[in-house]
A and B are shown apart, each in its own frame.
Chain A
Amino acid sequence: MRAIENEFVRRFVVPAVASTALYWILVSIAYRNDYYMYVLTMCAINVIGATSLNLINGFTGQFSLGHAGFMAVGAYVAGSLTKFGHWPFVGALLAGMAGAAVAGFLVGLPTLRLRGDYLAIATLGFGEIIRMLIINSDKLGLKFLEGPRGVPGIKRYSTFGWAFFFAVVTVWILANYIWSTHGRACGAVKEDEVAAEAMGVGTTTYKVMSFTIGASFAGLAGGLHAHLLQLLHPASYDFLKSCDFLVMIVVGGMGNLTGSVLGALFVTLITEALRKLLELRMLAYAVGLICVMLFRPEGLFGTREFSLGALRFLAPRRPVSQVGGDKSGAT
């Protein structure tokens, strides 16, 4: 048992072993079935999107509706770099992350002075602005982005392996951030901004920090998404996409990392599983969501993190900010 107590082992070895094992289990389940692989890849990408949105919405308490906008930035940067610049895949993904982070920083700086509904509207507006810029890109001198026609012919680099790897890295980085000093400061911002300010927490700094990190991972998800879909199209990153992520984190539990991972899996798998119902598919999906909200208003996982045995890396320590976690669910 003492091995687990070892900081180094707990931080690096346990997550690496656990995720590698999980990876091989999943691969053996989906072995030689491209469809299962596709759905699993989609799950992994949605996990990245949902957890990163949860950092902004759940852990820092800033209600953002512009996640698809950052995803679009990441997708278009990474996609055009591999297609036109012949960049290596990982390099392009990192560039997409950087692009989304810059966008997140620029948007976050002015808008994060707003609160609640106002911020939601501002980020929603930002998402639409990004989409409009892409749609009009051919008029703005970026002819190769083809405006509303979309760019087909992106190579399919997003294998399940890559998507899974990046999902694990994302969850790992976010978990470490959330339960670091900075993460606790973010939690304080969420609970009470005035009190946090009084205690010497620079609220704007932490809001912008969370927002930028969240945006960069959304960009990563976007880059992976573009290389899975093999298509850059503004319609893939509309307002509904932002809502999808919001649904995932609300279903899983706001301010809960395990919850958003499971929420992402739940939403992705259920929409695929309900394919047979055709017309009734979206109806069944909506009924499912309503049931979740009626019977588990705090989300599937509420504020409890999954922290047993080998997967202990998800919750190295109890977060301070979890006491009033249900508050954000009501926003």
Chain B
Amino acid sequence: MKLNRRLVTFLVIALALSLIAGCATPQQPAQKEEPKKEEPKKEEPKEIVIGVITPITGDVATFGESTRNAVLLLAEQWNAKGGLLGKKIVVKVEDDRNQPQDSAAAAQKLITQDKVVGIVGSVASKCTLAAAPIAQENKIPLISGTSTNEKVTQVGDYIFRACFIDPFQGAVMARFAFNNLKAKTAACLFDVTNDYPKGLAEEFKKEFEKLGGKVVEYQTYNYGDQDFKPQLTKIKTKNPDVLFLSDYYNTVGLIAKQARELGIKSVFLGGDGWDSPDLVKIGGKAVEGGYFSNHYSPESTAPEAVEFLKAYKAKYNKDPDALAALGYDAALLLFDAIKRAGSTEGAKIRDALAATKDFKAVSGTITFDANRNPIKDAAIITIKDGQQKLFTMVKP
């Protein structure tokens, strides 16, 4: 039973070719079928399924919790009023552990398995960046509440966000420091390994110098550092009017404490990463008198915000943070767009969403610009007696 070598070689090559041919094919027909799949959808479902991708486990689990709570609250409110387009809203929540890879899998699952018409999420920019291409390919609108990285909405025309972008916050704080606080010199200290604090600090420096101020120290540290005294000692010798700390509350609290211990008298400034009750718990007296920019303040007197605060408190027995407000706004924008589109078709929702103008949301009045970023006011919040107090609102 001797096998003919040439015949075997031929067989192997044929098989290998069929495998390689298979490589390219399966993906494409699957995608081309997509529009077809949507057709029977129109008449069938009695519910509208909305997907939420959010980190319920992992290092920023509290952010995910707030976002989820807010979207569920909104869905409940709308369902009580008769739903959306006469259908019940069903919210499918997926956890992404704050890992890009999980967000992509979650987006794929929501679209393929749950047949969602729109997605709210994710929280971190890195996660939204991974989920966005999948939403874009399948023509499902995706709106993130809190992903501030400029590139997120550049993925495609189906990707939106409900928050302002990083450069904006840095510029706002620079203008605030120069105009309102009359600061002439500033110092920055930020985590160089994370795009969020880095982006804010870069933009702060640019704007502050443009206004005529001087950035006397521009110091960095790495994620996870606990001791900032070497950098702070350098900053102390320059004695800047303001110190811009663009990191999240846990690190900012530590820095503020160490800075005051060293006798630095500068006013502390920061971005929305400060927004947590834990800031005061960690920073104590040191963060007193600091200012930060935020998307939303619980003290806002706009009727939408007051109502949201009341409803959120009634349901979850705690004050909503900015993440909850933005998650709520993201979902609200999406629901409103579906309502105006009068359809659950991706393209129509997208067009309605892009046409959003002067929409009264919890975090302010929202109009989308050409890049699907919202144009809206920023709140400047100060820490007074260990509490967050709304200081002023700033126009974009």
Contacts and interface: CB of A to CB of B under 8 A. Distances in A.
A279 B154 contact: no
Contact of A152 (B33, B102, B129): B129
A281 B95 contact: yes
A39 interface: yes
A165 B55 CA distance: 33
A3 B3 CA distance: 7
Given A148-B193, A149-B149, A161-B22, A12 B27 contact: no
Contact of A39 (B27, B105, B111, B125): B105
A272 B56 contact: no
A148 B108 contact: no
B25 A161 contact: yes
A275 B95 contact: yes
B22 A233 contact: no
Interface string A229-250: 1110101100010000000000
B262 interface: no
Given A148-B198, A161-B26, A281 B57 contact: yes
A144 to B, nearest CB: 13
B195 interface: yes
Contact of A6 (B3, B99, B138, B154): B3
Contacts of B203: none
Nearest to A39: B105
B192 A136 contact: yes
B80 interface: no
B15 A20 contact: yes
Interface stretch (B5-13, B234-242, B323-331, B366-374): B5-13
A72 to B, nearest CB: 13
A139 to B, nearest CB: 8
A51 to B, nearest CB: 19
Given A135-B192, A135-B193, A279-B57, A149 B199 contact: yes
Interface stretch (A26-34, A96-104, A316-324): A26-34
A282 interface: yes
A80 to B, nearest CB: 16
B126 A8 contact: no
B298 interface: no
Given A16-B16, A231-B130, A281-B95, A27 B109 contact: no
A136 B191 CA distance: 12
B109 to A, nearest CB: 5
A287 interface: no
A154 to B, nearest CB: 8
A291 interface: no
Contacts of A272: 105, 109
Given A3-B1, A152-B151, A161-B24, A8 B8 contact: yes
Contacts of B194: 148
B100 A160 contact: no
In this complex, the member of B94, B108, B111, B113 whose beta carbon has the largest number of chain A beta carbons within 10 angstroms is B108
B126 A233 contact: yes
Given A9-B3, A233-B130, A282-B97, A17 B15 contact: yes
Contacts of B26: 27, 37, 159-161
Given A136-B192, A159-B24, A13 B33 contact: no
A319 B111 CA distance: 46
Nearest to A131: B193
Given A8-B8, A39-B105, A236-B101, A152 B19 contact: no
Contacts of B154: 152-153
> What DSSP secondary structure best describes chain A's contact surface?
helix
Contacts of A271: 102
B108 A23 contact: no
A330 B132 CA distance: 42
B133 interface: yes
B193 to A, nearest CB: 5
Given A12-B12, A34-B112, A35-B113, A23 B130 contact: no
Using C-beta atoms within 8 Å of the partner chain, give the interface range for chain A. 35 or more
Contacts of A142: none
Interface in A110-137: 132, 135-136
Interface string B319-342: 000000000000000000000000
Contacts of A228: 104
B18 interface: yes
B108 A152 contact: no
Interface in B212-243: 222
Interface centre among A6, A27, A275 (most CB of B within 10 A): A275
A8 B9 CA distance: 10
Given A152-B132, A229-B104, A165 B23 contact: yes
Nearest to A166: B23
A71 to B, nearest CB: 12
A306 interface: no
B279 interface: no
Contacts of B3: 3, 6, 9
Nearest to A163: B23
Given A13-B11, A162-B23, A230 B133 contact: yes
A6 B7 CA distance: 14
A257 B254 CA distance: 47
A225 to B, nearest CB: 8
B117 interface: no
B100 A34 contact: no
B195 A278 contact: no
B30 interface: yes
B93 interface: yes
A149 B200 CA distance: 12
10 contacts: A13-B11, A17-B15, A23-B22, A32-B30, A148-B194, A165-B20, A230-B104, A231-B100, A231-B129, A235-B99
Interface of A: 2-3, 6, 8-9, 12-13, 16-17, 19-20, 23-24, 27, 32-39, 42, 132, 135-136, 147-150, 152-153, 156, 159-162, 164-165, 225, 228-231, 233, 235-236, 240, 271-272, 275, 278-279, 281-282
Given A16-B15, A235-B100, 16 more contacts: A8-B8, A13-B11, A13-B12, A32-B30, A32-B33, A35-B112, A35-B113, A149-B199, A150-B151, A152-B155, A156-B27, A159-B27, A161-B25, A162-B23, A231-B100, A281-B57
